[in-house]
Amino acid sequence: MQNLKPFSGDKKVGTWLLRRLEQRLVRWATKRVPKSIETYHLTLATIPISACIILFSYLAKTDIYWLWGVSLMIFLQWLTDTLDGSVGRARNTGLIKWGYYMDHFLDYVFLCSILIGYSLMLPDEFKFMQLVLLAIFGSFMVNAYLSFAVTNKFRISYLGFGPTEVRLVFILVNTFLIIFGKTYMAWSLPYVFILSLMGLCLVVYRTQKEIWALDMARKKEQNATQDQLSGEG
């Protein structure tokens, strides 16, 4: 029998620093997306965008100014990723679960493309740390999906940071790389690792605490029901 439980993966929970500004922009831009551009076009745009990120990063090995192209691709991915759900709801396309699946799978592809791009530019001794960073950033995504599975609330922001702020950080990193050179990134990687790991530990702690409380509330409700039935018996 088909599961008819309401799906809420298209309803994002949480607050982030740029949320209000982003929502105003989305409301303005949604009405201006051409009818020929469907919501799935916006979702699948992440594939060529990710390929361009890797290509431009490779070219940045010899000409650092190609990182402006990487930053442009990051902006375009934010724009298409932000608009696809809004356009889908406005046009009632019905691609809710497909959109959830493809959108967030491609978010991971996008994240990998950025880290692969950085690995092409940095010396070999820093590639292990980049692999660890991929694992940490990926853990934030895994935490969001597991939490959604048990709470039916899809949280996309932590500690005031959401996908928009993360993309902005990557653009700032690219800007610093262009201005100060690759030495800047190699020097800053350990600090990025420490801050990311601390943030992940805090997020996991808060998430498990919330889920623990849900279990205890359910247990209390079940005990109360059993006591009531025993009293009636």
pLDDT digits (tens, 9 = 90+) for 82-122: 888 888 888 888 888 898 899 989 999 999 999 899 888 87
pLDDT digits (tens, 9 = 90+) for 67-87: 999 999 999 999 999 888 888
Q: Is-contact 189 43, C-beta < 8 A?
A: no
Phi, psi of 161 (to 5 degrees): -110, 130
Q: Is-contact 54 113, C-beta < 8 A?
A: yes
Pick the most confident of 14-23, 27-36, 148-157, 218-227.
27-36
**Res. 167: pLDDT tops 70:** yes
Helix (H) or strand (E) holding 176: helix 163-180
Residue 2 lies in a domain: no
Looking at residues 34-59, what average pLDDT do you find? 94
Q: Is-contact 39 84, C-beta < 8 A?
A: yes
Residue 38 lies in a domain: yes
Strand partners, 155: 13
* Percent of the chain whose predicted confidence (pLDDT) is above 90: 28
Residue 45 lies in a domain: yes
Number of domains making up the chain: 1
Helix (H) or strand (E) holding 134: helix 127-151
Name the residue range of residue 103's domain.
12-232
Alpha-carbon dihedral angle through residues 52, 55, 59, 60, given to the nearest 10 degrees:
60
CATH value at residue 177:
1.20.120.1760
**Res. 55: pLDDT tops 80:** yes
Residue 7 lies in a domain: no
Per the structure block, which two tokens stand in for 120? Answer: 């092409």
Residue 4 lies in a domain: no
